[in-house]
Amino acid sequence: MPELPEVETVRRGLAPTFVGGRIARAEARRPDLRFPLPERFVGRLTGRRVEDLRRRAKYLLADLDSGETLVMHLGMSGSFRLERAVAEVVDLGVSGSATPATANGAPDVLGDFYYDRSKAAAHDHVVFHFENGARVVYNDPRRFGYMDLVATSALEAHPLFADIGLEPLGAGFDATALSMALQGSRAPLKAALLDQRRIAGLGNIYVCEALYRARLSPMREAGGLKPAETRRLLRAIREVLEAAIEAGGSTLRDHRQTDGTLGYFQHRFAVYDREGVVCGHKRCGGIIARAVQSGRSTFYCSACQL
Ligand SMILES: [Zn+2]
């Protein structure tokens, strides 16, 4: 399942096509994904210019010039494929150098962002045809993803977003905000960090990684961190997310250089899924253990995560 860094990498990959682009035509090949598509979905997208492509938690938000925002969630297996029928220099916006597309006029697949590597056209559910010839295809074999159209001005109050917590890569994510988010919680640190009402977009993997990096036990009471520990945790959360986004970007560049296919990230984790491995922290010597908390695996080092 895509976590925040993957969704952010997808956003960066799509942004050059979306932002400033006009949707000449949209296709919905079925009436629903996880939920029914909104009424007049195609009509409300057709002819609209995309003014911005943002991310909130694991949602992609395309602000349209109609005053509506297209909300997109990848679910478990959703992916976007970028295609372009014209030859031109394309910058994927992942901080790499631009690469010229092929000049033979054939559709040039610029990239896939996916988890299940489905290429089956049967799973291409929504297609955006941009005025400049680019096509963005939403593919989702398991159909846990969804899309909605919401008035941009009403977005924050929308049920999907009203209760979402701090954005861990946002400007407002500082030690004070994190401390407030955890204040009074008697839940284990692991559970509190997974709680989307406190912090948005952190999943099992990156919570394990951040706690390991911060050397904090996942079993600690969330509300009981000392100020220095809160600062350490804050730094660790930012670092693991940024490293994963950077790795996603590198993966995009590497893949594009070889076969034009982008996107399946196989990150290397320090602690996640590494039960039995010797702890990588200097002079620790502990062994990575697995525990089950709230029905989900936690990987940690009991020797140095205190
Ligand atoms: Zn250790």
Catalytic residue among 2, 5, 168, 188: 2
pLDDT in tens, 273-305: 999 999 999 999 999 999 999 899 999 999 999
- Has residue 269 got a pLDDT over 70? yes
C-alpha distance from residue 224 to each of 173, 203, 253, 292, 304 (Å):
19, 22, 42, 21, 18
Given this model, what pLDDT does residue 150 score? 98
Which stretches of the chain are DSSP H helices? 4-18, 41-45, 159-162, 175-182, 189-194, 204-214, 227-259
Average pLDDT, the chain: 84
Q: Which residue has the tokens 């990959």?
A: 13
Model confidence pLDDT, tens digit, residues 194-226: 999 999 988 898 999 999 999 999 999 999 999
Q: Band of the pLDDT at 173, cuts 50, 70, 90? A: very high
Rounded average pLDDT over 222-234: 97
Question: What is the C-alpha separation between 263 and 260, in angstroms, rounded?
Answer: 10
Distance between Cα 252 and ligand 1 center (Å): 32
CA of residue 212 to ligand 1 center, whole Å:
8
CA atoms within 13 A on the CB side of 101: 21
Active site residue 296: yes
Distance 226 CA to ligand 1 centre (A): 20
- What does the pLDDT look like over 85-139, one tens digit per residue? 644 434 343 333 333 333 343 344 444 443 334 567 888 999 999 999 999 999 8
pLDDT of residue 38: 96
Q: What are phi and psi of 46, to 5 degrees?
A: -65, 130
Q: Express as a percent the part of the chain with pLDDT over 90.
A: 64
SS3 20: coil
Q: Which residue has the higher pLDDT, 35 or 113?
A: 35
Q: What pLDDT was estimated at residue 254?
A: 46
Q: Is 76 left (phi over 0), alpha (psi -120 to 50) or beta?
A: alpha
pLDDT score for 280? 94
Pick the catalytic residue: 34, 49, 54, 296? 296
Least confident range of 16-25, 98-107, 187-196, 246-255: 98-107
* List 55, 56, 58, 213, catalytic entry: 58
- Span from the CA of 286 to the centroid of ligand 1 (angstroms): 5
The tokens for 160 are 């999907």
Mind listing the pLDDT tens digit for each residue in 50-90?
999 999 999 999 999 999 999 999 888 888 888 876 444 34
- What pLDDT sits at residue 4? 87
6: CA distance to ligand 1 center in Å? 27
For ligand 1, the distance from its centroid to the CA atom of residue 217, given in whole angstroms, is 11
Task: Give the contacts of 91 (CB within 8 A, at least 6 positions apart).
Answer: 16, 98
The 8 Å CB, 24+ separation contacts for 199-202 are 199/165, 199/166, 199/168, 199/237, 200/4, 200/56, 200/57, 200/58, 200/164, 200/165, 200/166, 200/167, 200/168, 201/3, 201/4, 201/7, 201/57, 201/58, 201/167, 201/168, 202/3, 202/4, 202/168, 202/237
Higher pLDDT, 84 or 160: 160
Residue type, 72: M
Is 2 an active-site residue?
A: yes
Q: What is the pLDDT of residue 244?
A: 83
